[in-house]
């Protein structure tokens, strides 16, 4: 499989933008469900980008930096997963399982950038003391440029390396199907781990009933004639519950503040 220079340039530019976006812009473009779709469009396989991005989003949804500790980077993991899936024709789950290892390098790139920039914070502090906004902006531009360049380099290396080893990976997949099967199972399990991390952080005790009802609804709807619309139907049900809960709580607060509620005259 030959290297496409246009794909390399577009991938480097997109990765540069996504690297900045994860901290300084929309913080949405860099999410797997978006960036993998865009990468799929660049690599000529939009469908794989949508499927892999949606799966990887579930894996990364609960990962977030805590203090100075950086989780596996979703951008690098998504890029490598897409390259393995599209350029090396790997199964999506197996590609994601292998990409997790590489996503750690993205975390190292972020940590390296933060380490380097910590030495320049004195310059930003001095600019602030001098009421010099241009100096602060310059420090920010240096930080964004350094992080974007590191990520762009990693993405290009991943593309070139993945293309070069694609025949070897395909042969390995055929000869050692048992290993690739295990990698695929591991990759498939990661989406549940990511969602479990998110629920552990966000889930409160009174919401367990909705969680169990959601699982039950997914099973029921997934085995009927409307299975293709299961997620959409569950989303509508969730929106209905959220609207009802919101309006009910608003009315309770309004009544509590107006003095209309409570007991009086024995009633």
Asked whether residue 59 carries a pLDDT value surpassing 50, the answer given is yes
Cβ pair 29, 21 in contact under 8 A: yes
Residue ranges per domain, the chain?
5-202, 204-259
Q: Which percentage of the chain shows pLDDT scores above 70?
A: 75
Rounded to whole angstroms, the Cα distance separating 79 from 158 reads 8
Asked whether residue 208 carries a pLDDT value surpassing 60, the answer given is yes
Which pLDDT band, with edges at 50, 70 and 90, does 99 fall under? Answer: confident
| Structure-model confidence comparison of residues 162 and 128, the more confident one | 128
Residue 236: partners with Cβ closer than 8 Å, 6 or more residues away: none
Cβ pair 120, 142 in contact under 8 A: yes
Asked whether residue 265 carries a pLDDT value surpassing 70, the answer given is no
Which pLDDT band, with edges at 50, 70 and 90, does 155 fall under? Answer: confident
Q: Look at the block and give the residue holding tokens 């440029």.
A: 145
The reported pLDDT for the residue numbered 119 is 77
Which pLDDT band, with edges at 50, 70 and 90, does 101 fall under? Answer: confident
Rounded to whole angstroms, the Cα distance separating 39 from 230 reads 27
Give, for 99, the enclosing helix (H) or strand (E): helix 92-118
Instruction: Specify the long-range contacts of residues 209-214, CB closer than 8 Å, at least 24 apart.
Output: 210/238, 210/241, 214/238
Instruction: Output DSSP code: residue 27.
Output: S
Widest CA span in the chain: 86
Least confident range from 36-45, 100-109, 190-199, 228-237: namely 190-199
Asked whether residue 180 carries a pLDDT value surpassing 60, the answer given is no
Rounded to whole angstroms, the Cα distance separating 39 from 53 reads 10
| Structure-model confidence comparison of residues 165 and 104, the more confident one | 104
The reported pLDDT for the residue numbered 210 is 79
3-state class (DSSP) for residue 264 = coil
Which pLDDT band, with edges at 50, 70 and 90, does 267 fall under? Answer: very low
How long a stretch of residues is the chain?
267
The reported pLDDT for the residue numbered 175 is 65
- The residue among 240, 238, 245, 243 whose CA lies nearest residue 215 is 238
Q: Which percentage of the chain shows pLDDT scores above 90?
A: 0
Distance set, CA 228 to CA 20, 65, 193 (Å): 36, 35, 24
Asked whether residue 177 carries a pLDDT value surpassing 50, the answer given is yes
Instruction: Output DSSP code: residue 225.
Output: T
Rounded to whole angstroms, the Cα distance separating 136 from 121 reads 9
Rounded to whole angstroms, the Cα distance separating 159 from 90 reads 15
| Mean of pLDDT over the chain | 76
Rounded to whole angstroms, the Cα distance separating 141 from 135 reads 10
| Structure-model confidence comparison of residues 23 and 202, the more confident one | 23
Kindly state the average pLDDT of the residues 71-90: 80
Global confidence as pTM: 0.61
DSSP-derived secondary structure for 118-178: HTTHHHHHHHHHTT-HHHHHHHHHHHHHHHHHHHHHHHHHHHHHHHHTHHHHHHHHHHTHH
Which pLDDT band, with edges at 50, 70 and 90, does 64 fall under? Answer: low
The reported pLDDT for the residue numbered 146 is 83
């Amino acid at each position: 499989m030959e290297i496409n220079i246009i794909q390399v340039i577009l991938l480097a530019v997109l990765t540069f933008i996504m690297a900045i976006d994860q901290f300084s812009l929309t913080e949405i473009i860099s999410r797997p469900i978006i960036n993998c779709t865009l990468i799929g469009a660049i690599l000529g396989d939009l469908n794989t980008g949508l499927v892999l991005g949606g799966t990887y989003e579930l894996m990364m949804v609960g990962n977030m930096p805590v203090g100075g500790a950086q989780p596996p980077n979703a951008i690098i993991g998504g890029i490598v997963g897409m390259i393995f899936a599209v350029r090396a024709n790997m199964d999506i789950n197996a590609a994601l399982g292998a990409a997790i290892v590489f996503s750690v390098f993205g975390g190292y790139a972020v940590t390296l950038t933060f380490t380097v920039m910590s030495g320049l914070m004195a310059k930003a502090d001095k600019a602030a003391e001098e009421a010099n906004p241009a100096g602060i902006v310059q420090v920010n531009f240096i930080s964004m440029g350094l992080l974007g360049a590191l990520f762009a380099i990693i993405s290009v290396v991943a593309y070139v390396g993945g293309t070069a080893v694609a025949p070897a990976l395909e042969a390995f997949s055929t000869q050692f199907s048992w290993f690739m099967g295990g990698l695929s199972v591991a990759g498939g399990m990661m989406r549940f781990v990511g969602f479990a991390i998110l629920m552990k952080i966000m889930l409160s005790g009174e919401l367990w009933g909705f969680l169990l009802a959601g699982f039950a609804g997914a099973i029921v709807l997934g085995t009927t004639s409307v299975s293709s619309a299961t997620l959409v139907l569950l989303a509508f049900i969730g929106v209905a519950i959220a609207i009802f809960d919101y309006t009910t709580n608003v009315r309770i607060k309004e009544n509590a503040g107006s003095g209309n509620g409570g007991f009086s005259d024995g009633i």
